[in-house]
Structure 1
Amino acid sequence: MASFSDFKISNALQKALTDLGFDKATPIQELAFPVVMSGKDVVGIAQTGTGKTFGYLLPILNMLSFSKEIHPRILILVPTRELVIQVVEEVEKLGKYASVRVLGVYGGTSMNKQKEALASVTDIVVATPARLYDLVLARALQLKHVRRLVIDEVDVMLDLGFRFQLINIFELLPQRRQNIMFSATMTDDVEKLIHDFFKGVAKIAVAVSGTPLENIAQYAYAVPNFYTKVNLLEYLLKDADDYRKVLVFVSSKRSADLLFKELAEFYNDEICVIHSNKTQNYRLRSINQFDTGQNRILITTDVMARGLDLNEISHVINFDVPRFPENYMHRIGRTGRAEKTGTALVLYTDAEREAKEAIETLMEMKITPLTLPPEVEMATQLTYDEQPKHVERENPLKQNEDERGSGFHEKSDKKKKQNQGGSYKRIIKKKYSKPKTRGDKNYGKKKRRK
């Protein structure tokens, strides 16, 4: 690994890195620094937890000179509110001795307060796409002076449906700017976005997209249903010495709330939950309690898989198998960070077996299977989604077309007739031709019979 002292960085940045205790650069930081400094458009691909944020912040802050310009010169777009707060904190740490003015804007908070904050001088704006676009439309923010655009976690942006906002933001930005994109995976959507809107992009990668981190041990349990998963999780979490800091991923907000309710019966003072329906203050409080050790179990959804940079997570448990195999990489990347070891577990049902195999195909390796402990009770209770669905035989909404009566077909055919409009006038005109008026030449004369 290269040393930061070998980089041509300012004394202010070097001093900030020393305060943070950073001496050696990670591979992505070493590769990205000269390319970003050159001013070229760049896309960087690296496994999660390898220092991508510093990979673009170091060269950007190194090139950021003092200016009296009141409008932002650097725009950083990220997918989640938590990641906005996190990036702002990193900028403040690195810019400690350089008087860098940074502001984070995101949804779920007062837009008026953000408008007031944007009225003052700002060098860097870190934002989620939707809230940024709203502020631009409200004329609270001008983008005409932006010289560098950073899109962090590009693939998540597109997965969350931000493509429309991104394209609109591209149109509002100056044509002459540097585009910097970072992600843990390179998907087809990302390739298409780069092809459609950017030219001459330099690509740097320190790992093949989808490659698992070598310091994360991965295991899988085959489990029959949701409540057996709950029983297994309740059993595993009893070992507080081994499972000292556990991040549990579920597929939906409903599953998160249901699992929280079930586990709170056993671990009430040790568990917290976050998802997009929780208020921003609730989410930040839960993250802080988990990060500081007040809670050792945090339940979350995939929306939070990229916005969490938490210290020394011992286990990541995939309570539900993610639909997209790339999301699995982001989930397990929350552990085993900064070259430390970690453990990832997958709990999968027969319905999730195919999704689990897709993950193994992406990683080109098998996840080590484990046998359910005999102490775990097999639950018979099923969730609504797991219950078999019965179709009513006499329900007309579920009948096949061949079983419908003649009245239904007669009504259906009637509805197929096109409405030609003005039927009465059309019929009268066809029957009696054009009606005569006093202005007509032959008004009052009878038509001669042949």
Structure 2
Amino acid sequence: MTFEDLNINTFLLNALNDLGLTEPTPIQEQVFSVVMSGRDVCGIAQTGTGKTYAYLLPALRLYQFSKEKHPQIIILVPTRELVVQVMESVKALTTYMTVRTVGIFGGVNTKPQTAELLQGVDILVATPGRLVDFLMNGTINPKNVKRLIIDEFDEMLNLGFRAQLTVIFDKLPSKRQNLLFSATLTKDVETLVETFFNSPVRIETEAVGTPHQNITQSYYFVQNFYTKVNLLNLLLKNDESMTKVLVFVATKKLADTLYEQLQKTLQHKVDVIHSNKNQNHRFNSVGLFELGYCQVLIATDIIARGLDIDEVTHVINFDMPDMPENYIHRIGRTGRYDKKGTAVSFVTKNEVEYLKQVETLMNIELPILDSPEGLMISEKLLEEEIPKAKMKFITKLPDISDNSAYHDKTDKNKKVNVRRDHKAEMKRKYGKSYENRSRKS
């Protein structure tokens, strides 16, 4: 099937031709007709399968020009990076259409966003928190919203956006079409869908946890953090195919520490992004990485959903994720759009359990690789890697039946409360003269 076989107008077809796209992906093909029918949709698809266009194409096909300044379509995404990327996708598809698109997200001044919204908006791309801010202060009037699209629903719940989502559902018109897209369908997602959606059609192109067929996966068993650093440096030095490498770490602190270590050898060819980095830094870092000026980009899981970068050659799981679904999202950054990719994990003794969870989810056993020749095993440990000394707790009190270790106080140290007779003491001290003196006074 080609895009021409779908009920797509000339404007969208011309834009797709400009992008060099002629055939829809499975998720795009299956979603299109259902959305056009007006039904709610719950789409489950892995990253890199084209789900952004899966909801944009039918939504834009149904879009009708209006002079109203309030949005007809609201697209919710979990991160600022995704706001920018979805906006770019909208603009690419609306080259031959008159559509006002605005993106809003937190972490920046609200005044420029407010000014842009007041000029008018047809399609609004937003993070949940900032959308709630503008709904509550009246900047955004939701009365014209015909379609609510939620991308990466499971990640929004992981990031703690449940309260904001509930507010948004209550504020929007009850008569609207809901389109939900997620890589995984958790119990929390199902609960919210049952509560706020109207009998959605579930469309699942692949079972959750299906491994990416075009991604080669493997792992090394590594002793500790600094040995991982040595291994990564060695791989980057010896493998010329590692031209665009995305490295995932567990925490922001570890990301910064790894950056400091790699910068010693890679200098300006390595960069780091996480939620503590300001927005300009994050955008610039991703831009340099996408253009190829930066060879290695270090990131945390919160960024994994917001990166849509072409031709990532390798994904390195420097730390194994504690949630197996995040492994799927991570490695989905490579091998996109039918291209080959490589995913390599560094696994310590403490991370073996996480590896087993990933293998169980995907129902495969990942091959282990032999340590490359010349790998230096470091004895240096991070503070959190140093074994903690175990405290000895006394659970039984000593037996004091033998009183040899215990004895009474001496008479000198014994304290007895005695009622004193002051008058008698004075008489003993001064004799009759004291008594006579007392009578005279």
* Larger gyration radius, structure 1 or structure 2: 2
Look up the match of 1:418: none
Deviations 1:337-373 (A, max 9, x none): 0000000001011111001100000000011110111
State the identity as a percent. 50
Mapped to 1, the partners of 2:194 and 2:66 lie a distance apart of 34
Aligned pairs, number? 398
Matches within 5 A, 1:35-184: 35-184=34-183
CA RMSD of aligned residues (A): 1.4
Secondary structure of residue in 2 paired with 1:247: strand
For 2:373, the aligned partner's letter is P
Deviations 1:24-69 (A, max 9, x none): 1100000000011111110111121010000000000000011111
For 1:256, the aligned partner's letter is A
- 1:281 and 2:284 aligned: no
Unmatched tracts of structure 1, length 5 or more:
394-398, 405-450
Unmatched tracts of structure 2, length 5 or more:
399-441
For 2:227, the aligned partner's letter is T
Mapped to 2, the partners of 1:402 and 1:136 lie a distance apart of 62
Mapped to 1, the partners of 2:42 and 2:220 lie a distance apart of 37
Look up the match of 1:330: 329
Mapped to 1, the partners of 2:78 and 2:154 lie a distance apart of 9
Mapped to 2, the partners of 1:401 and 1:130 lie a distance apart of 51
- 1:187 and 2:191 aligned: no
TM-score for both structures, normalised by structure 1? 0.86
Secondary structure of residue in 2 paired with 1:217: strand
Mapped to 2, the partners of 1:66 and 1:369 lie a distance apart of 56
Matches within 5 A, 1:17-416: 17-239=16-238, 241-390=240-389
Secondary structure of residue in 2 paired with 1:381: coil
Deviations 1:416-450 (A, max 9, x none): xxxxxxxxxxxxxxxxxxxxxxxxxxxxxxxxxxx
Offset of 1:401 from its aligned partner? 8.3
Q: CA 1:317 to 1:12, structure 2 compared with 1: closer, same or farther past 3 Å?
A: same
Offset of 1:403 from its aligned partner? 7.0
Look up the match of 2:411: none
Secondary structure of residue in 1 paired with 2:272: strand
Offset of 1:239 from its aligned partner? 3.1
Look up the match of 1:8: 7
For 1:218, the aligned partner's letter is Q
Mapped to 2, the partners of 1:309 and 1:184 lie a distance apart of 15
Secondary structure of residue in 2 paired with 1:182: strand
Offset of 1:391 from its aligned partner? 5.5
Offset of 1:240 from its aligned partner? 5.4
Q: CA 1:244 to 1:35, structure 2 compared with 1: closer, same or farther past 3 Å?
A: same
Mapped to 2, the partners of 1:147 and 1:352 lie a distance apart of 46
Offset of 1:380 from its aligned partner? 0.7
Secondary structure of residue in 2 paired with 1:264: helix
Secondary structure of residue in 1 paired with 2:199: coil
Deviations 1:299-357 (A, max 9, x none): 00001111001010110000000010000000000000000000000101111100110
Mapped to 1, the partners of 2:383 and 2:164 lie a distance apart of 36
